[in-house]
């Protein structure tokens, strides 16, 4: 009996190792595609046609979703490569000894957002590592990226073919749900899936807190947190808190390298709309030709707009942010997420701070 149990555990560990290895290899593929590198040979796990097919999906994504420009998709691919670094995965998974324990596989419905490229891959990663089956419903804005990525993963580890299916219409019968959407759709998800174990994520924003000691390099890096993905991600900084005597021109000077973002038609439409609206309403704001800066207490800002608020008491600000934690995805600044790193989360940086892996292992 003990030998049989030991053999079963060894089998589970071997299956987990194959899954981890496949994801890590996918990360290495994404690193190549992020650099637009040529096919490196069969050792990468894909033949040349498969590799170029994946590259083609990345390059054509903007034809299906105008926000998914080739540059943004390649940047997102680099972020996935960072997420799937093997040493980082091993350190993360070491915190879940239950992964090697026996469990009954469940079918987990994944309702994915489509605001930024590859936004739902972390959920899919967690489901497959936990030994469950994923039934995936992608956003209409996904541009085929999730399915193409899954096809590549299955090529690297064919046994995962039985673990991932896609649903075109209704999600169908599932044992648990992980759903990501807006604040409005979150209420619908809670109602519709109220009888199931679930993680439901609603819209969040990220903020930066400046203390006035930031270097030019740090303020320059902040532009990455503000403008990457055109500001559409929940990890994009939509608001900056600054000391009372802060000069906003410091931000405009640091952000100048992003000026060409105004050439993107969809971004420019948002810029023109809000500029015209606020001029008609006599709303005070600053602008530099590619960004509107408005002082307000609101957290969330529209595309092409950055909110700014001055503070005098840092401890009071920290208390306020703690009270608004259910609206904030991450805080950028000294002592928090480093400037320029908001879009480079690691495997343990769970959306909304909810441990997805722990949830799945408890099913």
pLDDT at 5 (0 to 100): 58
Angle made by CA atoms 180, 183, 189, in degrees to the nearest 5? 55
Determine the structural domain holding residue 302 and report its residue range.
Answer: 205-332
Q: What whole-number distance in Å separates Cα of residue 334 and Cα of residue 218?
A: 10
pLDDT at 100 (0 to 100): 86
**128 contacts 18 by C-beta, under 8 angstroms:** no
Residue found by looking up tokens 């439901």 in the block: 200
The model's pLDDT over 166-185, given as tens digits with 9 standing for 90+, comes to 998 888 899 999 999 888 88
Q: What is the CATH number of the domain that holds 52?
A: 3.40.605.10
Residue 94: partners with Cβ closer than 8 Å, 6 or more residues away: none
**Intervals of the chain under pLDDT 70:** 1-8
Supply φ then ψ for residue 239, to 5 degrees.
Answer: -145, 145
Residues 167 and 213 both lie in one domain: no
Residues 171 and 262 both lie in one domain: no
Secondary structure element (H or E) that encloses residue 241, with its range: strand 237-243
Domain assignment present for 289: yes
pLDDT at 199 (0 to 100): 96
Q: What whole-number distance in Å separates Cα of residue 63 and Cα of residue 244?
A: 44
Residues 66 and 213 both lie in one domain: no
pLDDT at 344 (0 to 100): 94
Domain assignment present for 227: yes
Domain assignment present for 148: yes
Domain assignment present for 341: no
Residues 251 and 170 both lie in one domain: no
Beta bridge partners of 337: 332
| The total number of structural domains that make up the chain | 2
Residue found by looking up tokens 């800066």 in the block: 293
Q: What is the CATH number of the domain that holds 271?
A: 3.40.309.10
Residues 99 and 159 both lie in one domain: yes
The model's pLDDT over 204-263, given as tens digits with 9 standing for 90+, comes to 999 999 999 999 999 999 999 999 999 999 999 999 999 999 999 999 999 999 999 999
Residues 191 and 247 both lie in one domain: no
Q: Tell me the CA distances in angstroms from 363 to 53, 126, 130, 358, one per residue in order.
A: 36, 13, 10, 9
Give the β-pairing of 292-295 and 164-166. Answer: unpaired
Which two three-digit tokens encode residue 259?
Answer: 């000026």
Q: What whole-number distance in Å separates Cα of residue 119 and Cα of residue 112?
A: 7
């Amino acid at each position: 009996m003990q030998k049989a149990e030991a053999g079963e555990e060894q089998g589970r560990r071997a299956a987990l190792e194959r899954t981890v290895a496949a994801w890590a290899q996918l990360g290495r593929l994404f690193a190549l595609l992020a650099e637009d590198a040529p096919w490196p040979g069969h050792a990468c796990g894909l033949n040349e046609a498969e590799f170029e097919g994946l590259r083609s999906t990345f390059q054509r994504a903007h034809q299906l979703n105008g926000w998914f420009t080739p540059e943004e998709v390649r940047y997102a691919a680099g972020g996935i490569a960072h997420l799937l670094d093997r040493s980082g995965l091993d350190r993360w998974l070491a915190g879940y000894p239950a992964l090697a324990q026996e469990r009954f596989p469940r079918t987990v419905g994944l309702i994915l957002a489509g605001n930024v490229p590859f936004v739902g891959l972390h959920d899919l990663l967690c489901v497959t590592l936990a030994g469950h089956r994923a039934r995936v419903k992608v956003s209409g804005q996904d541009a085929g990226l999730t399915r193409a990525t899954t096809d590549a993963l299955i090529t690297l580890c064919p046994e995962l073919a039985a673990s991932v299916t896609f649903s075109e219409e209704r999600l169908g019968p599932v044992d648990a749900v992980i759903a990501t959407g807006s604040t409005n759709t979150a209420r619908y998800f809670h109602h519709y899936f109220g009888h199931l174990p679930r993680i439901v994520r609603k819209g969040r924003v990220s903020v930066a807190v400046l203390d006035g000691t930031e270097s030019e390099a740090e303020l320059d890096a902040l532009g990455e947190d503000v403008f990457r993905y055109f500001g559409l991600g929940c990890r994009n900084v939509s608001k900056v808190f600054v000391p009372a005597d802060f000069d906003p021109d410091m931000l405009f000077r640091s952000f100048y390298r992003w000026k060409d973002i105004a050439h993107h038609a969809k971004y420019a439409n948002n810029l023109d709309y809000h500029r015209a609206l606020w001029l008609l309403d006599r709303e005070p704001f600053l602008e530099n030709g590619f960004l509107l800066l408005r002082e307000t207490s609101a957290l969330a800002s529209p595309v092409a707009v950055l909110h700014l608020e001055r503070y005098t008491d840092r401890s009071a600000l920290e208390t306020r942010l703690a009270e608004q934690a259910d609206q904030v995805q991450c805080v950028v600044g000294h002592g928090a997420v480093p400037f320029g790193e908001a879009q480079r989360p690691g495997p343990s940086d769970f959306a909304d701070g909810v441990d997805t892996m722990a949830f799945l292992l408890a099913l």
